[in-house]
Structure 1
Amino acid sequence: MTTLTNLQPAPVIDETARLLTEHYVFPEIAEQVADLLQRRLAEGAYDVDGAEELARVVTEDLQSVNDDKHLRLKYHADPVSPEQGAATLDSIRRDFDTSLGGAPRVELLDGGVALVELAPMLFPLEWAAEPLSAALTLASRAQALIVDLRNNRGGDPDTVAFVCSYLLDERTHLNTMYWRRGERSEQSWSLPHVPGARFGGSKPLYVLSSDRTFSAAEELAYDLQQLGRAVVVGEPTRGGAHPCKGWTVHPHLETTIPTGRAINPISGANWEGTGVRPDVPCAAVESLGQAHTLALARLAG
């Protein structure tokens, strides 16, 4: 463990406060949180035993003003590169290599219902396009489809649009990101063409959710729900709608800060704080059985 003999909290807090003020999508909240961090530093709240404990305490304070779960000080056991986002990218690559590219389970259930699990995240599209295309093309011949996001912690918005493209018939406006820098916006649309075959926009589609489903995985569920394309089955999700970036502020610590916010073109809102509310609420452990039952009933009808 990194101890206070080689970890001084003041430089970590000073740099985190500076990054907040410069990059956080809500400038007024950034000032409040930065002031809180400096006040807590002066009080000695961060004189703790090691980087891992400092990350826990600071994260609690970062999220205390507006409960933004993307605002974090993340601990990394192995030293990480000072390059922006390098800590997260190294960890993501390891997960990609051990999860069949983010589609660890493709299965045909009874009655012609396919199950595709997307976990542990929606990886960067330049990595994930090939394995996701293979999984979704394989499932395209099913009569109904269940997409399991219960263990998905988020990822790349471009990958959200890629997956949606297999589940719709035509190019569709999915989401708009509003960025702090320059007050610019960026629309997300499904693709007009996909590699492989589409499941399409008319056959029954169910999305499984849990209280672990987060960030870009929530966007996938929310976008399909708002379009009336999918029935969400399971638990309310964690409620993180703000895309973020990471900065290394110590060899074992990374500050993640949202730099934008998502606005759905149908609801005019997002899932921040509230999570995606399931259409069929049930315990996550029961959601696969529930969705399969619903799919079979729909097909029989």
Structure 2
Amino acid sequence: MASGRTSPVLLVLFCHVLSIGSSFQPALVLDMAKILLDNYCFPENLVGMQEAIQQAINSGEILKISDRKTLASVLTVGVQSALNDPRLIVSFEPNFVPIMPPTLPSLPMEQLIRLVRNSVKLEVLENNVGYLRIDRIIGEETANKLGPLLRDNVWNKVAQTSSLIFDLRYNTAGELSGVPFIISYFSDPEPLIHIDTVFDRPSNTTKELWTVSSIIGERYGKQKDLIILTSKRTLGAAEAVAYTLKNLKRAIIVGERSAGGSVKVQKIRIEDSGFYITVPVARSVNPITGQSWEVSGGVVPDAIVLAEEAVDHAHEIIEFHREVHSLVKETGELLEVHYAIPEVANKVSRVLLAKWAEGLYRSVVDYESLASQLTADLQETSGDHRLHIFYCDVEPESLHEMPKIPTNEEVDYIIDALFKLEVMPGNVGYLRFDMMADIEVMRAISPQLIKLVWSKLVNTDTMIIDMRYNTGGYSTAIPLFCTYFFDAKPLRHLYTVFDRSTSTMTEVMTLPEIQGERYGTTKDVYILTSHMTGSAAEAFTRTMKDLNRATVIGEPTIGGSLSSGTYQMGKSILYASIPNQVVLSAVTGKVWSVSGVEPHVAVQANEALGKPSGGQ
């Protein structure tokens, strides 16, 4: 906001208080504005505020409220609404006496020890799972003073556990200077990590917080599971710990969204009035996210559950993590056996294991999140978007799927459901079908198919084949379908298939004999495509394009695979969909790209049908 313009703060204040009678000194608002300008941690939001208030006062818009507590409430609502910051509070407390509690380092050692024992709880649970509850984060000076006690009774015992549940659900107080030490226990000595940047408004200074290379006690390190529990009461420095470790991908957060507190707040008296304003005077900016956990944001858990259920859920995640390494390894092994491009499979398998070793699968909390992470890593590393991991509570039918030969009663229904045909003006044939059926099914229904479909189109002068809604099906019928658009002799080489699972190379040719008439090689054929066209429909389209037998019109196809196998990962509910064949062009001898078929005429799919009649 530019200086001289009416401030949102002022407008909101006036909106709330102009209707209330009696009087007070306008200096109160000016003094409050000065405190905000000198101390509020977002000074950029206050530009022009003081000038706007003075301008309004000079113009006679004087706030008149007789009851001081009412005035404090109205000012609170106005300031909070204008700055969208619920931490700003105005109060009227004429008898308030500030009490400065003694700093922790100044307390006698006996009191410090008692405080730590009351705020820290440590247990070693079944399967060597550590449980550490800390209800107050002590600052750097206190931590140094209590170093041997913390080392012997907390950190060295924690370090011996196999995984750790770090409970911050009841942590509502603490000092920010203690955050780097806690983060350091869960990271390596080198390199040092920039974990926070804190801007202090009263001193107008910025301080960076980094991990430390030397700590008292044994580090927990970066490899073992760390699960942090939070609640809606988790506040301040504890939020900084949870937010930092989450965004370093070092910890999983389980529980409720945290309170969204402040790095530092001060209660400041407004001159001699008896009014006070509580102001956040410092703000935190995380170097990874560029954002903060403060105000309304809080720390959002990876697994959101009620606070009272967080411990049980943490145990479930730890148990699940025992499977993750074997599932990541199994994914790589399935690729090495089945994926159509062996050198890519070997590379991806190595990358997956390296990512696991680096702890990059630590953030997964269940089968669904693991499937999502594995899919993203497979596709990114291989460049093949067809690789996919999914979870399924029941065994997918595709594991045992065999084409079903229809009965005579079913044939008419199948033809009616799969095929749509029309002879358009100009003797142009239009054929749409949305699934590629298996060759055995096609042979079984061929008499009715020839009679009900093909005989009505074979004598047209031009053929439009609509593949815009065909997402695939069986590839076995591709040679049969292609054969109708070529002469009987010589047989045409359509494409070559390398099957990784059987290590066989097969040349796919047109068929020497078919039922019904051929469409021949002289009449124009147009194939319509969309971004949905995939799998066997895409292979047919690509073959017809490669052999210059059809003009393709529409959108680039999806880039699917001719054949993908579905493989269970161990005994889990995860399954891998892996392209197990590569197709080599009959013209170039090169492997078909997974990027899809580029049309000769690129148009939106919904406009493709209008293009052929216009000519080329």
TM (normalized to structure 1)?
0.80
Note closer, same or farther for the CA distance 1:138–1:41 as it changes in structure 2 (3 Å cut).
farther
Residue 463 (structure 2) aligned to one of 111, 131, 145: 145
Note closer, same or farther for the CA distance 1:63–1:136 as it changes in structure 2 (3 Å cut).
farther
Note closer, same or farther for the CA distance 1:182–1:255 as it changes in structure 2 (3 Å cut).
closer
Conserved? CA contact 1:176–1:263, under 8 Å: yes
CA shift at 1:158, angstroms?
A: 2.0
Note closer, same or farther for the CA distance 1:84–1:275 as it changes in structure 2 (3 Å cut).
closer
Conserved? CA contact 1:59–1:71, under 8 Å: yes
Report how many residues are paired.
285
1:195-234 matched pairs, under 5 angstroms = 195-234=515-554
Give the superposed CA RMSD: 3.3
Q: Which runs of 5+ in 1 are unaligned?
A: none
| Greater CA drift, 107-116 or 242-251 | 242-251
Paired AA for residue 109 in structure 1: M
CA shift at 1:36, angstroms?
A: 2.7
Note closer, same or farther for the CA distance 1:11–1:118 as it changes in structure 2 (3 Å cut).
farther
CA shift at 1:131, angstroms?
A: 5.1
Paired residue for 2:389? 73
Q: Of the two, which has the highest radius of gyration?
A: 2
Conserved? CA contact 1:180–1:260, under 8 Å: yes
Paired residue for 2:351? 36
Note closer, same or farther for the CA distance 1:17–1:109 as it changes in structure 2 (3 Å cut).
same
Paired AA for residue 73 in structure 1: I
Structure with the larger RCO, 1 or 2 (CA within 8 Å, 6+ apart):
1
In the TM superposition, what whole-angstrom CA distance separates every residue of 1:67-115 from its partner, at most 9, and x where no partner exists? 2233221344x6115x9823xx38x87xx99964873322222222122
Paired residue for 2:372? 56
CA shift at 1:261, angstroms?
A: 1.3
In the TM superposition, what whole-angstrom CA distance separates every residue of 1:219-277 from its partner, at most 9, and x where no partner exists? 11111112111000011112235633221236653212222311112122243133211
Residue 243 (structure 1) aligned to one of 559, 563, 568: 563
Paired AA for residue 262 in structure 1: V
2:389 & 2:457 partners in 1: Cα distance?
Answer: 39
2:531 & 2:584 partners in 1: Cα distance?
Answer: 21
Residue 485 (structure 2) aligned to one of 153, 162, 167: 167
| Greater CA drift, 242-251 or 229-238 | 242-251
1:24 & 1:287 partners in 2: Cα distance?
Answer: 35
Residue 178 (structure 1) aligned to one of 495, 498, 501: 498
2:444 & 2:481 partners in 1: Cα distance?
Answer: 12
CA shift at 1:163, angstroms?
A: 0.9
Conserved? CA contact 1:20–1:34, under 8 Å: yes
1:254 & 1:102 partners in 2: Cα distance?
Answer: 31
CA shift at 1:150, angstroms?
A: 1.4
1:46 & 1:279 partners in 2: Cα distance?
Answer: 47
Paired residue for 2:112? none
Conserved? CA contact 2:536–2:562, under 8 Å: no
Residue 115 (structure 1) aligned to one of 430, 442, 446: 430
Conserved? CA contact 1:9–1:47, under 8 Å: no
CA shift at 1:55, angstroms?
A: 3.0
Note closer, same or farther for the CA distance 1:178–1:277 as it changes in structure 2 (3 Å cut).
same
Conserved? CA contact 1:161–1:190, under 8 Å: yes
2:465 & 2:390 partners in 1: Cα distance?
Answer: 29
Paired residue for 2:338? 23
Note closer, same or farther for the CA distance 1:179–1:172 as it changes in structure 2 (3 Å cut).
same
1:126-137 matched pairs, under 5 angstroms = 126-130=440-444, 133-134=449-450, 135-137=453-455
Matched, 1:281 2:602: yes
